Structure 1
Amino acid sequence: MTEPPDVLRRMLLDGRTEVSLVDRIVEDLARRIIDGSLPPGADVNSVELARRFSTSRTPVREALLTLQREGLVDIPARRRPRVAPVTPAQARELYEIRASLHALVSELIVAGSPDLSVLASWQSRLRSDALAGDVDAYFWHNVSFRQAEAEAAGNRQLTRLLGSLGLRTLQLRHVSLSLPGRLDRSVADHERLLAAYADGDAVLAVALTRSIIMTGLHSIEASGWPGLAEAE
């Protein structure tokens, strides 16, 4: 199992530098929910978490409340917390927002003509991961590619908006990239996107960005992924 890079911790800390015990518990649970080790509907054992982190249940409760706010955990009354399911409507709304925001990122990159070497470096890692069939490494490097892309756009508020979409989008993106044939399609699409940036073709870059993101949604919808369930 590939360990997530610092990108996950940076997203969780949102500018803070000190990592608390609650942060560590949130990071541990978030990683396991994102990579599918804890699938939607699975119970979250707070007693076991307290034992594993050698702490009382108070920091565990704080961590669970954080993940509840992110939409990853349900905390029903008088029942054990569980990994929250995703409805088809929630997934579609999240992907539509992502597609629109990342389309703006693509427009700004072409308009600003930034140095693309950082994106090219991440793309090289994506090619290697796809050749190796390493879904987890590809996923985390893809997250880093998208973050570097947002930073290259030069609009800090846009970068923060993308970050505010939270961990739920990471869970869905991991599911999408885990499906058969998705790595090869994804790496080829990102190659074309980088070429559009290099050519200064904003129309093509925006179209590719929207296609990449919405193809991920369509793949999940067609897969029969059990975590995508209608609301009870």
Structure 2
Amino acid sequence: MKQGATVTRVDDAYERLKDEILQNRMPPGFQAPEPEIALRLGMSRTPVREALIRLEASGLIELIPRRGARVLPVSPTDMREIYEILTALEPEAAAGLARSRPTAEMLAGLAEATDEMEAALERNDLEAWAVADDAYHRRLLALNENRRLSAIVGSLFDQAHRVRMITLRLRAPPTESTREHREILHHIQAGNVEVTRTVFRHHRERAARELLSILENYRLPGL
């Protein structure tokens, strides 16, 4: 029982710290000693230490002996590599899902995320749009039931998401991206394997060009 409680505290510390990083409340370059981070969470140091080790393995922070943890920056080179991997893996995952001819019930989470993106765009709530966009990609990945793929791509989502949050208001409204999400969902529902793959690849390639242009042309804090 005690061990289970410890795991729960570690998971809680991990999720809370990851959220601080992904929402840029702990921005790239942020550094603090372990006791300060534990105080920030109102937790003891043991679960916080374990959570920091997990965050380092996810590529979000680095642990510096006697100096605590530092949130890692993400360079244009990092993002180019991340999007190259996402462009290679995600379209195949989506195509595989289309091939399986999932039911409407199975795709309900994707439909919900798409509806949320469209509603957020209408009210110009970019933060809500980004949350729904992240949910769409994670739910699609989960539907493949490939744990290794989910672990690999999920860690890349975490690294890419915080950069997207920083650049959110430096881009045009995500009208095209929202339309592409709806189109991808349509082709998955219809079982259009090759079209799903092609549209998803185009979606990732376009997003990569847009984001890399911003990173290469703006001096962003911590990046």
| Band of TM-score, shorter chain | 0.7 to 0.9
Residues 83 and 204 of structure 2 are in contact (CA less than 8 Å); yes or no, is this contact kept in structure 1?
A: yes
- Aligned partner letter, 1:76: I
Q: What is the TM-score normalised by the length of structure 1?
A: 0.77
Distance in 1, matches of 2:135 and 2:222, equals 25
Give the match for residue 126 of structure 2: 135
- Residue 100 of structure 2 corresponds to which residue in structure 1? 112
Cα distance change of structure 1 residues 128 and 44 upon mapping to structure 2, 3 Å threshold: farther
Q: Is the 8 A contact 2:58 2:155 kept in 1?
A: no
Q: What residue in structure 1 maps to residue 32 of structure 2?
A: 44
Q: Is the 8 A contact 1:74 1:83 kept in 2?
A: yes
CA distance in 1, matches of 2:100, 2:153: 19
Shift of 1:193: 1.6
> Which position in structure 2 is the counterpart of 1:30?
18
Amino acid at match of 1:89: T
Aligned to 1:226, the other structure's residue is in SS state coil
Q: 2:213 aligns with which of 214, 219, 222?
A: 222
Distance 2:35 2:120 in 1: 37
* Superposition CA RMSD, Å: 2.8
- The aligned counterpart of 1:64 is 52
Which sections of structure 1, spanning at least 5 residues, go unmatched?
Answer: 1-15
Q: Which among 72, 84, 90 is matched to residue 78 of structure 2?
A: 90
The Cα of 1:84 is off from its aligned counterpart by 0.4
1:76 correspondence with 2:67: no
Aligned position for 1:196: 187
- Cα separation, 2, equivalents of 1:166 and 1:143: 8
User: What is the CA–CA distance in structure 2 between the aligned matches of 1:178 and 1:18, rounded to whole Å?
Assistant: 39
Cα separation, partners in 2 of 1:18 and 1:174, compared to 1, 3 Å: farther
Contact 2:29 2:222 (8 Å CA) reproduced:
no
Question: In the superposition, relative to structure 1, how do residues 161 and 154 fare at CA in structure 2: closer, same or farther (>3 Å)?
Answer: same
Alignment of 1:140-155 (within 5 A): 140-153=131-144, 155=146
- CA shift, 1:26, in A, is 1.7
Tell me the amino acid that sits aligned with residue 93 of structure 1.
E
SS at match of 1:82: strand
1:95: Cα distance to partner? 1.3
Give, in whole Å, the separation in 2 of the partners of 1:80 and 1:191. 43
State the SS of the aligned residue for 1:75: strand
1:166 Cα deviation after fit? 6.0
The number of residue pairs the alignment matches comes to: 214
Q: Report percent identity of matched pairs.
A: 26
Question: 1:95-116 CA distances to partner (integer Å, 9 max, x unpaired)?
Answer: 1111221111221122121124
| Gap regions ≥5 residues in structure 2 | none
Paired residue type of 1:226: L
Partners of 2:54 and 2:219 lie apart in 1 by 25
Spell out the pairing of 1:115-126 with structure 2 (5 A cutoff).
Answer: 115-116=103-104, 117-118=107-108, 119-126=110-117
User: Displaced runs of 4+ in structure 1, greater than 6 A?
Assistant: none
Matched residue type, 2:162: Q
Structure 1's 46 and 153: CA in aligned 2 closer, same or farther, altered over 3 A?
A: closer
Deviations along 1:162-193, one digit per CA (max 9) or x if unpaired, are: 33546323323444555422422221111222
